[in-house]
Amino acid sequence: MGVDENKQLEIINSCMDYMGRNFNFNTIPSVFITEVHRIAKLKTGQRLPFAELRKNCNDVGLALSKKLQKKLESKKEGLRKFEELIKWVIASNHLDFRTVGTGYSVPIKTIEKHVRDKVAEPLKVNHVSKFYKFVDALPKKLKKRPRLLYVHDNVGEIAFDRLLIKDLKQRGWFVISALRGGPITSDATLEDGAYVEMEKYADLIICAGPDTLGISWEEKSPELTEALFNSDLIISKGQANFYLFSEHQSELKTPIMCLLTTKCPYVSSYFKKQELISVAHFFAS
């Protein structure tokens, strides 16, 4: 970020002061992460930290997703093809420079191998079959296109999200894409959606809210509130969004498919696992 040591120390002190006054065990972690990043942006005057990394992630995602699209086009329709697409969408959640540790100045082939290795691993939580039956059946039962709210996570992986959105639209779903209105670390914004031409895939693109890590229940936009309570299905990408939906699923009373790679043992323990895992978890009534 190009910030001198004195400014770094000022930011650290301000963040520690905020955490000392506000930390508690009843608040989801993404709330605190959001606020300390806001402090850093305010004190540095940088609206878009990690700009180059974010662009590189999107470029990598676009390159890899084009390869995947060609591969899938040659495959027979059915559960196996759908599950392969889902596994790629989940594996792309690793295109997150906050946690993967490599940065994105490394060659595309290196990143491609990393993602392919994740696709080759079995899903430790696999509700894809149940989800496939649901998304295939509901449009046939209803007299109108059912509404699907797709809540995105990171830059890079949104290029893969487009392929799943395209598949679901072909099955008869009206897809609403929810992207953040402001940048924070690697989370995808409306600007990133425009960069990957999301408007060519989703039926409607809405602002989920401001610069929060994952969507925020307290700061969600009116458009997101309407979509949350008036959709027939929600797809949630990433761990930060899983925090929120695991807490509010019963309140929403809407089926939710959570696609994520866990980034810490605590979230893995929710699924009775210790290691970091790939998850396709379907909250369905």
Q: If pLDDT is split at 50, 70 and 90, which confidence band does 53 have? A: confident
Shared-domain flag, residues 143 and 15: no
- Return the pLDDT at 104: 46
Taking only the tens place, the pLDDT of each residue in 233-269 is: 999 999 989 999 999 998 998 999 999 999 889 999 9
Please state the separation of Cα 281 from the chain's center in Å.
14
- Return the pLDDT at 199: 98
User: Helices 79-91 and 158-170 meet at what angle, rounded to 10?
Assistant: 160
Shared-domain flag, residues 142 and 186: yes
Taking only the tens place, the pLDDT of each residue in 122-163 is: 999 999 999 999 999 999 999 889 999 999 999 999 999 999
The pair of structure tokens assigned to 19 is 């955490």
CATH code of the domain in which 95 resides: 3.40.50.10880
Query: What's the rounded Cα separation, in Å, for the pair 212 and 179?
Result: 11
Domain assignment of residue 39, given as a range? 5-44
Shared-domain flag, residues 133 and 219: yes
**CB-based contact 198:179 (threshold 8 Å):** yes
Shared-domain flag, residues 32 and 61: no
Shared-domain flag, residues 152 and 76: yes
Shared-domain flag, residues 106 and 38: no
Shared-domain flag, residues 161 and 186: yes
Taking only the tens place, the pLDDT of each residue in 77-132 is: 999 999 999 999 999 988 765 555 445 455 666 777 888 888 999 999 999 999 99
Shared-domain flag, residues 79 and 113: yes
- Return the pLDDT at 214: 83
Shared-domain flag, residues 18 and 87: no
Shared-domain flag, residues 60 and 178: yes
Closest to 238 measured CA to CA, from 174, 187, 170, 185: 187
Please state the separation of Cα 275 from the chain's center in Å.
20
Amino acid at 249: Q
Shared-domain flag, residues 147 and 14: no
Shared-domain flag, residues 70 and 18: no
Beta-strand ranges (E) seen in 99-140 are 125-126
Query: What's the rounded Cα separation, in Å, for the pair 125 and 141?
Result: 28
Total domain count for the chain?
A: 2
